[in-house]
Amino acid sequence: MSEEHLVKYPDPILTTPCADFDFKNPPVDPNKCASALVETCKKHNGIGLSANQCGYEYRVFVMGSGDNYVAFYNPEIISVSEKTNNIEEGCLSFPELRYETRRAMKAVAKGFNMYGEPVTVEGTEFLARALQHETDHLDGIVFIDRLSDDLRKEAMKEIRNSDWFLESQSRGLDPKIRISPHRTNGQAF
């Protein structure tokens, strides 16, 4: 696998929960998968990228910067703090769209590294936000699903006027709004 095509909203793969990555019978070589995601993320100047953003329906994401990226397989958010913040957030699958999005300031995720070894990652602020954003992707949740009703309406208006969305619509793709399955402590969804 080399650099992959970046899937844009409203492609249905972005709103479909991904299957666990099976280490006993891997759908692709875990190392090649991580490398392709990192190459694609770097090409698009991202800090994180989930497998479904490249058209793959399994639970894998990468995040990092420069030459320091990590791959996370079958992640699950196991706890979030009650304290939240509202910071501008964007997504490679929503080119140039950025909105303040409420997220927990601390998150703990468990999963596996590319060798199938269990790992737990605890992040605060920016790392917590990235863990939540990428895990949401793998659950079929996109960041606009987390916006307040008013901001979501504003975002959808901006999306409907974008070239990338109009191109997707011409291929028969329609947007879906979903509710996050993660605890949000009464904030947004």
Residues belonging to the active site = 134
Distances in whole angstroms, Cα of residue 2 to Cα of each of 57, 122, 138: 17, 30, 21
Listed residue (83, 101, 110, 185) closest to 141, CA to CA: 101
Backbone angles phi, psi at 174, to 5 degrees: -120, 145
Phi, psi of 21 (to 5 degrees): -75, 120
> Which region holds residue 140: left if phi is over 0, alpha if psi is between -120 and 50, else beta?
left
Give the whole-angstrom CA distance, residue 54 versus residue 78. 25
Question: What would the two tokens of residue 6 be?
Answer: 């970046």
DSSP H helical segments within 53-172, as ranges? 125-138, 149-160, 163-170
